[in-house]
Amino acid sequence: MTIEHLVAELDAVGAVPLAWRKALLAVPRHLFLPSQIWVDDEHGNPQPLSRDDNPDRWLAAAYRNVPILTQFDDGKTVWPDTTGEVCTSSASKPELMLRMLTALDVRDGHHVLEIGTGTGYHAALLAARLGAPNVTTMEIDPVLADLAQAALHSAGLPVTAVTGDGIPGCPDRAPYERVISTAAVRVGELPYSWVAQTRPGGVIVTPMRTDFGGSVPLVRFSVNEDGTATGRPVGRVGFMAVRSHRTPEWTIDHIDPNDPRAEVSTSTLKPWRVAENHDVRWAIGTRVPRCVWEHQPPTGDRRQHLLWLLDPGDGSWAVARYDDGPGSRRIRQYGPRRLWDEVEAAFRAWTAAGKPPLDRSRITISANTQAVT
């Protein structure tokens, strides 16, 4: 298998923009993959694959339009273990990667900052298109950074590779015409450093997420003369979060849904409505930060469903009980926040606006505020 096979597969779905064909053909993807990887099977379960044990299958995987998983749990889960909880680094699906590069809309002479080097393949494509001196890439994981830098030099594409947190950007190499992040940032927390280091008229492309879940939009921002940036979703993607923007680990196992300390109220809103699709989860997530949810079905001794809301940071929680019957639902809330009240208000505001889909969002960033409308 060769890069030509991958390009042919991408051509079959119309995924190779003319502007990126030459760069795509010039960069061998397999040079940027570790010898030990995981590849999802037909059921979406990661399976270990070794170049040493099965070189033909390994090479074939490198040149398919699929993501290659390269790290779980920040390296704590060691290959070939398949019990890892979270994939924390990968070579993105090429079709998705090309969508991001198309949204970035680079031109000759542009200087690009990439946040999240990963394997280095994305930076290599940028370097093949723009020249290595015009590409700066940052990776927070030192093990991944070293491997990526070695691969980039081996491929003859010695971009400026910085090992460190990408949240502050790289002011020493600024200003940039383009900034691209290969990891999702939390809505309301896009680093203003990225805006400040981008020339007016420049573009920032990044996935964005909320703790409430749902789709992750790819957002394209334009940087304005007044130092603000305005963005709109240009598609829906699946990306891991920037490390400092991950949802903290949480559980409701320690919470008693009948806790007598909780404030009791009722609501006429059917609780499942607040999480029933991606658009409503995005609408609520953008209005109610730092809130997660979980559904518990009925059990043998409990005939009602439970919908839980939790702030993993301050411990606030709410639980709504419901079944198929008519009437209002009982709500219990505890902690500094009244999470059900916040979520219900966000849902009703979204409904009053005509239930706009995620794709109609407009995100505005300034030095002091960030807003979604």
Compute φ and ψ for 270, nearest 5 degrees. Answer: -70, 120
One-letter amino acid of 289 = P
* C-alpha 308 chain-centroid distance: 24
One-letter amino acid of 228 = T
What distance separates the 2 farthest-apart alpha carbons in the chain? 68
> CA 56, 58, 64 angle in degrees (round to 5)?
100
User: What are the helix (H) ranges across 35-173?
Assistant: 55-62, 94-104, 121-130, 142-154
One-letter amino acid of 45 = N
Distance (Å, rounded) from C-alpha 138 to C-alpha 301? 53
Q: Which of 92, 181, 215, 316 is catalytic?
A: 92
Among candidates 147, 154, 116, which has minimal Cα distance to 132? Answer: 154
Is residue 316 annotated as part of the catalytic site, yes or no? no
Helix count and strand count (H, E) for the chain: 9, 19
Distance (Å, rounded) from C-alpha 228 to C-alpha 364? 7
Distance (Å, rounded) from C-alpha 273 to C-alpha 42? 32
Query: Which residues, other chains included, contact 61 with Cβ-Cβ below 8 Å and sequence gap of 6+?
Result: 37, 39, 49, 68
Q: Which whole-number Å values give the CA distances from 142 to 13, 80, 148, 150, 240, in the listed order?
A: 36, 21, 10, 12, 18
CB 233 within 8 A of CB 286: no
Residue with tokens 């009602």: 304
Would you name the residues annotated as active-site residues?
92
